[in-house]
Chain A
Amino acid sequence: MGAVFALITVVAFVLVVYLGVGVAGLHFLFGVIIPYVAFFTFLIGMIYRVIEWARSPVPFRIVTTCGQQKSLSWVKRNPLESPYNNFEVALRMFLEVVFFRSLFRNLKAEIKGRNLIYGSYKWLWLFAILFHYSFFIILLRHFRFFAYPVPKVIDGLNQLDAFLHIGLPHFYITDALILAGLTFLFVRRLADPKLRYISLASDYLPLFMIYGLVISGILMRHFFKVDVVGVKELTMSLVHFSPKVPQGIGTIFFIHLFFISALMAYFPFSKLVHMLGVFLSPTRNLANNSRAKRHINPWNQPAKFKTYCEWQEIFYEQLVESGQPIDEDCPQVKERKKAEGAE
């Protein structure tokens, strides 16, 4: 159900742009207004999300320790899995964010009998890496449309990505990889009953939007070629805030542009915020040093509890009879003594 809804939404997106640009000719709306609105929604929305998270304090140091703590000097500890200071935390976060350490955790392929065990986990990690890195590289590549002159690094990346020299223009490797990653992530959701059970429309929608984005991009580069000079003219004008839509770019470009706009606008309201949220996760981004350094909880109130002296009063007889010392410093005992003396 969720997948169907997501699919319909994405098809609707294509239709809207087709009708809007191809038929009604609303170039300015789709080329300028929607991208701007989407971009600022993304920017403001993400900032807002982070501020919202940051406004809630971290009352306790709830690190999930995955390795030996620092204790006795001769015990070999694990600074990456049980960091003791901020530097080690940074390393742990680096592994987490850059290499998806936790997803990798199960990666221990073993052949037992005829079967390879832990296979699925390895795949999830691998395809998640493929997907995220391809997306990242593709994003970087696109900066050549937003900069003049194109920085050397971006140019180099571009050439590297196309180094197979297949087709003209050259086919990008990342395009293939991101499709592979997306397909795995999608098929997995359908094929594994556990995942099908937990998957929502909001899990399929981003996948389909990115599908749409990638496929429209590939189509535009290799099949329905668009006027690249015109495109760059448009993107540069957007960058300089003097928007101008040149004639004859081709509808497919607007579909591509609409998908990225939709994705950007959707981003802050969806699970995609994990991109920034991961940095704030208190089980990962804190040091496991809570016995060495006091962690402050801003809303901590002093505890209300029964003090020893109050308790001693209740169990006075039992304490005396069983020969346990009575604390004479307790005001209650002093009063008791006074009362006894008065008798």
Chain B
Amino acid sequence: MAKLPKPEELFDSIDWTPPETDWMDTPVEFQPGRWCYPAKKKVVEDLGFPNPREWSPADEDWKIPSNWREIVLEGMKERLEKYRSFKLFMDICVRCGACADKCHYFLGSGDPKNMPVLRAELMRSIYKGEFTLPGKIFGRLAGARKLTEEVIKEWFYYYYQCSECRRCSVFCPYGIDTCEVTMMGRELLHLLGININWILEPVRNCVYIGNHLGLQPHTVKENIEYLCWDIEEVTGLKIQPSFNRKGAEILFVAPSGDYFADPGIYTFMGYLVLFEYLGLDYTLSTYASEGGNFGLFTSHEMMQKINAKIYHEAERLGVKFIIGGECGHMWRVKHQYMDTVNGPAPSNLEVPKSPITGTVFEHAKSTKMIHICEFTADLIAHGKLELDPSRNDKYVVTFHDSCNPSRGMGFFEEPRFILKHVCNNFYDMPENTIREKTFCCGSGSGLNTDEFMDMRMRGGLPRANAVEYVHKKHGVNMLACICAIDRAALSTLMQYWVPEVGVCGVHELVANALVFPDEKTGKKKRTLDLRQQPLKPEDEENV
């Protein structure tokens, strides 16, 4: 037998290691599954954004205006003057690398430009090269470069591969927040007419119709009524929520995904069941029918515009305060932006005070808006809810801290407190993957579109991986969350990585556990959960 060939000889022909070039010399390759489709011409026109046209990132020519350089540089200058965060973050990074391995997209993809420091450096290099003296003199040695069309393409690719989750900013010794840089990057790209449809179309719908999905007022009402029939089948309750009712005490605003999508609708049913239980004097609005705000992923002006409807409607209806549903980025807007951009709150609003327990929500005394989990946690703490956690016994639950409530509000205990009261089996995921260190679902900031599937699955791997751990260790089969994007995106993510685990909102479980007086006396019996599945596994007696 002849001597076998050397292994190197066999494998030398295949070189898998990516080329070793400086990042400034590595152009972006637009591969499918890693970028989102551009916004439709009509949508861009309707919103009055610059440069509406048909184009694709896969094209060589992006058809940007001929004076694009001036536009971008002028835009940067303006933003450097308007945002201290932007200017400071451009100046003070020391590239210590503490953030480098904190980004879920980097962890999942290994693409070095997904390291937060480098993502910001894509912008910083232009800032240095175009706005600072040392950058102009020393060029690359100072990390500076000139603005070229390649840079614009790179920005598009990487600023739409950032979910604005702010995990990196937790670890940065100077608090540099890549989300701010991404926001600026996206605003600048908008000036050239570079944007993605998955964000702009919902924005357009919200501006013109009232919500991201473009549901007209009668559809919103019909959908909710349909959900009420389902509730009736499960609980026997006839619920008739009011719409656009003047004089109600509370305006309730939810993300529109909850009117329509599975499993968001079960969360919505949960809200309705809870309000019915309490006999709450509330109303829903078909005008301010969107709590979410894809404007946040577009520009600050758009975020303000979309958000403005909520105070406007609260004023018109003469309510006393506002409760907001379970939604992540919506709550970043409500907590950190709403009062600033559209405040002060209309004079008819009062400091939120729970009509059931009398608790005054001092921490929301200016915005006059509270999170439904704050409201419910307060009810439970005062013993106002009769709960039977064993109704959720078929679930072993864990909780996903959504990025925005976690790192933008510090919202950790309220949902956990609720979960621990409405189900018997609750296990947190490992410490480094929850609370302020929580991993993004991989689809945040308007990237939950199907053409972006590969990136989403990669970016969601760190999250799914932690879920898998508690699934294997504790048999967790339900992932609760307080975010509409999560409910949609995590469902898909779980189906890929850990198909045994389902996804739900916190209030779905609340409603399952809620014991109505008739149920307590035994007059009525609940055998189904809100999904119209048996409460107990089939071999067990339904009690």
Contacts and interface: CB of A to CB of B under 8 A. Distances in A.
Contacts of A292: 362-367
B436 A67 contact: yes
A156 to B, nearest CB: 30
A38 to B, nearest CB: 16
Given A197-B112, A284-B175, A295-B340, A103 B92 contact: no
A304 interface: yes
Nearest to A323: B221
B436 A103 contact: no
A248 interface: no
A47 B343 CA distance: 35
Given A56-B82, A103-B98, A271-B95, A65 B342 contact: no
A289 interface: yes
B79 to A, nearest CB: 9
B69 interface: no
A56 B175 contact: no
Given A102-B173, A283-B175, A292-B366, A203 B414 contact: no
B91 interface: yes
Residue in A71, A96, A124 whose Cβ sees the most chain B Cβ within 10 Å: A71
B340 A71 contact: no
A324 B170 contact: no
Contacts of B85: 58, 62, 282-283
A289 B410 CA distance: 11
A322 B173 contact: no
A49 B134 CA distance: 14
B316 A305 contact: no
Contacts of B146: none
A327 B115 contact: no
A290 B82 contact: no
B216 interface: yes
Contact of B218 (A5, A52, A281, A319): A319
A195 B287 contact: no
B356 interface: no
A116 to B, nearest CB: 15
B161 interface: no
Given A201-B141, A277-B92, A308 B313 contact: yes
B363 A68 contact: no
Contacts, number: 291
Contacts of A291: 334-335, 339, 363-367, 369
A305 B336 contact: no
Contacts of B409: 65, 69, 288
Residue in B95, B208, B334 whose Cβ sees the most chain A Cβ within 10 Å: B95
B336 A63 contact: yes
Interface residues of A, number: 95
B363 A289 contact: yes
Nearest to B352: A291
B175 A203 contact: no
B482 to A, nearest CB: 14
Given A74-B381, A282-B84, A271 B92 contact: yes
A46 to B, nearest CB: 12
Interface stretch (A10-18, A28-36, A76-84): A76-84
B484 interface: no
A53 B87 contact: yes
Contact of B374 (A68, A71, A124, A295): A71
A341 B181 CA distance: 57
Contacts of A121: 98
A61 B340 contact: yes
Contacts of A72: 359, 361, 374, 377-378, 381, 414
A202 interface: yes
B88 A281 contact: yes
B23 interface: yes
Interface stretch (B33-41, B187-195, B243-251, B455-463): B243-251
A184 to B, nearest CB: 12
A338 interface: no
A80 to B, nearest CB: 11
Contacts of A203: 94-95
Interface of A: 1-2, 5, 49, 52-72, 74-78, 81-82, 84, 96, 100, 102-103, 105-106, 108, 121, 124, 128, 188, 192, 194-195, 197-203, 269-271, 273-274, 277-278, 280-284, 288-297, 299-300, 303-308, 311-312, 315, 318-319, 321-325, 327
Interface of B: 22-23, 80-88, 91-98, 100-101, 112, 115, 117-118, 121, 132-134, 138, 140-143, 166, 169-177, 180, 207-208, 210, 216-218, 221-222, 243-246, 286-287, 300, 304-309, 312-313, 316, 334-337, 339-344, 359, 361-367, 369, 374, 377-378, 381, 406-414, 417, 431-432, 436
13 contacts: A66-B170, A102-B170, A103-B98, A188-B97, A198-B97, A202-B141, A202-B143, A273-B91, A288-B409, A291-B365, A305-B207, A324-B218, A325-B243
Question: What 9 A-B pairs are tightest by C-beta distance, nearest first?
Answer: A69-B410, A65-B410, A277-B92, A322-B218, A303-B308, A283-B175, A82-B410, A284-B175, A201-B141
